Structure 1
Amino acid sequence: MEVAQKTYICCYWKTYNMKETIVRTISGALYISIITIAMFTSREWFMGLFFVLALITMSEFLKLVHLTSYFAYFLLAAAFYFLSYRVIDINAVYLFLILSGFVNLFLLKDVLWTSKIPMFEKKKYITVVFYIISGFVFLTLIPVMDVDGKFVPYLIVSVFILMWSNDTFAYLIGKNFGKHKLLERVSPKKTIEGFLGGMLGALLAGFIIFNITKSYNLIDTEKYELWVWICMAIIVSFFGTVGDLIQSKFKRQAGVKDSGIIMPGHGGMYDRLDSILYASPFIYAFLLIVDYVS
């Protein structure tokens, strides 16, 4: 009787895990398809989609930090229009970038050395403006990095591919070979092996992207040489992982498993975009440096 019960439980969990994997795969594929199609349609479609994603993410984040504010949505809309879609002053963008970089580095410090993120309890608007809003602003500025302001969808698609490759390899390597915890008190499942595997995956993707863009002349390869993609892969992998850890700490302090339920098997939109949001100001800053040296 006991053997039969164990067999039943084992079969049940296998079926449950299979269903969960199928649901995750379908919702993930739909998410990637919508984002990719919007990117290649036009800049207006791209901006429109990411404004909607920003609204959803903002809503999830505000609930997470227990902040009720319509003013935050006004700030989001204003930043999107004046700092991304219609850049009123490039110096304002640079100032926003510097302040966002400082806030993000402080969030990194809080994850590594404090038991709680102080900004979770006070100064919540600082994280709203210079973490969530800035993440979307610089994410939508990346594809217009050219001097003439031309929209280059291949550039932002490549950044997402680097991030997705990092996440996929980190999951696969960590699940199968992970033994040493990366930061157990914040995210028990993350391992050093998974982190290194993710970086390897991003580097491999960067090498492939460089060769494809060079072969088909999709991006200015004189400007975006191989070393640029290698550096970008490292930046995406490192800061993307930090962004995931920061979100894990926010959720741990809020006492929730996921930030939302909009994506079956994945959680909320903030769960899906946490890595790229944190990394985007650093990616944008690096691309500015590439622009300057080229």
Structure 2
Amino acid sequence: MSNFLRRIFSGIIYVLIFISAILFSKESYVVLISLFGFIGIWEFSKMIKFKNIIPYLFFGLTLFLMLKRPDNYGVTVILIITILSSVYLIYQLYSKKEIIFLNDRSKLGLTIRYFIFSMCFLVLLPFYKGIYNPYLVISILVLIWVNDSFAFLVGKNFGKRKLFESVSPKKTIEGFIGGLVFAIIASFIISKYNNDFSILNWCIIAIIVCVIGTIGDLVESKFKRQAKVKDSGTIMPGHGGVLDRLDSLLFAAPFVYLYINFII
């Protein structure tokens, strides 16, 4: 089987598992994302050369407490920490400074702020106003996938100017704009079938997903370049690891959570 066919096949399996878990029940969604979280911790730990059981235990405990009391003020504090940490990573990306983690303490802090907290908000995303809403997270996934697909297609056929060549030489400005435009179009269509938010709010969510998600992809690429690896893992043939597939959604999740729970 060629690499192209393996990529298509594994991608279809990934989407089917993801959608099935979301629609089946809130428990199956939490279990699947938790599994992705533990695998992602393992992949990220390999990249930063961090061998410790604490991140796995911390993720399990934090996720349990956040699911138990999603309206607790502690969740808001964690959200603020996550957003500020993401903003600092964006600064490090655009200032072209190396992300420093010299000892186990700094590696643990980075793993918690960059991956674990963001993963927890990905789990909380469909629990809107205390009710599990599977179509909310499916709509956000559709925006991510539309953005990724059309950014690739437009970039491949029309891309000339590099978006951030030092980190991801294949991404182009034309591709980014193409992905954003088609995601906004998709948000208009979604608003016709999903009445959780207005057309304007779905449009803003699409912009957040595209802009922050693209930056999240670049941040993960920066980590991989520093680690001198092509992919975070090999669990998905042709796609890399779990972190490679979730990088955009992972980075965007806290910002979307902030918007739909505190701004709308």
Calculate the TM-score normalised by the size of structure 2: 0.96
Between structure 1 and structure 2, the one with the greater Rg is 1
| Within-5 A mapping of 1:140-179 | 140-146=123-129, 149-179=130-160
Partner SS, residue 237 of structure 2: coil
| Within-5 A mapping of 1:120-269 | 123-146=106-129, 149-213=130-194, 219-220=195-196, 224-269=197-242
Q: Distance in 2 between matches of 1:88 and 1:142?
A: 11
Q: Is the 8 A contact 1:177 1:193 kept in 2?
A: yes
Q: Distance in 1 between matches of 2:93 and 2:179?
A: 20
Q: Distance in 2 between matches of 1:185 and 1:72?
A: 30
Partner SS, residue 118 of structure 1: coil
Long gaps (5+) in structure 2? none
Q: AA paired with 1:230? A: C
Compute the displacement of 1:117 (Å): 1.2
Compute the displacement of 1:89 (Å): 5.5
User: 2:34 aligned with 1:34, yes or no?
Assistant: no
Q: Distance in 2 between matches of 1:120 and 1:47?
A: 33
Q: AA paired with 2:183? A: A
| RCO comparison, higher one (Cα < 8 Å, 6+) | 2
Compute the displacement of 1:45 (Å): 0.6
Residue identity (%): 40
Q: Is the 8 A contact 1:166 1:237 kept in 2?
A: yes
Deviations 1:183-212 (A, max 9, x none): 101111110001111111211111111112
Long gaps (5+) in structure 1? 1-15, 214-218
Q: Distance in 1 between matches of 2:214 and 2:37?
A: 20
Q: AA paired with 1:195? A: F
User: 2:41 aligned with 1:58, yes or no?
Assistant: yes
Deviations 1:49-94 (A, max 9, x none): 11101011110000001111100100010111001x2127620000
Deviates more, 1:132-141 or 1:51-60: 132-141
Compute the displacement of 1:116 (Å): 1.0
Deviations 1:260-285 (A, max 9, x none): 00000000010000111011000000
Q: Distance in 1 between matches of 2:33 and 2:102?
A: 25
Q: Is the 8 A contact 1:120 1:250 kept in 2?
A: no
Aligned to 1:93: 75
Q: AA paired with 1:205? A: A
Q: Distance in 2 between matches of 1:117 and 1:271?
A: 18
Q: Distance in 2 between matches of 1:53 and 1:198?
A: 26
**Aligned Cα root-mean-square deviation (Å):** 1.4
Residue 66 to residue 232, structure 1, CA distance change in 2 (3 Å): same
Deviations 1:184-241 (A, max 9, x none): 011111100011111112111111111122xxxxx43xxx000010000000000000
Calculate the TM-score normalised by the size of structure 1: 0.86
Compute the displacement of 1:126 (Å): 2.2
Q: Is the 8 A contact 1:65 1:120 kept in 2?
A: no
Aligned to 1:43: 26
Q: Distance in 2 between matches of 1:120 and 1:195?
A: 34
Compute the displacement of 1:118 (Å): 2.1
Q: Distance in 2 between matches of 1:279 and 1:106?
A: 14
Aligned to 1:20: 3
Q: Distance in 1 between matches of 2:263 and 2:97?
A: 37
Compute the displacement of 1:119 (Å): 4.1
Aligned length: 263
Q: AA paired with 1:173? A: V
Q: Distance in 1 between matches of 2:100 and 2:54?
A: 22
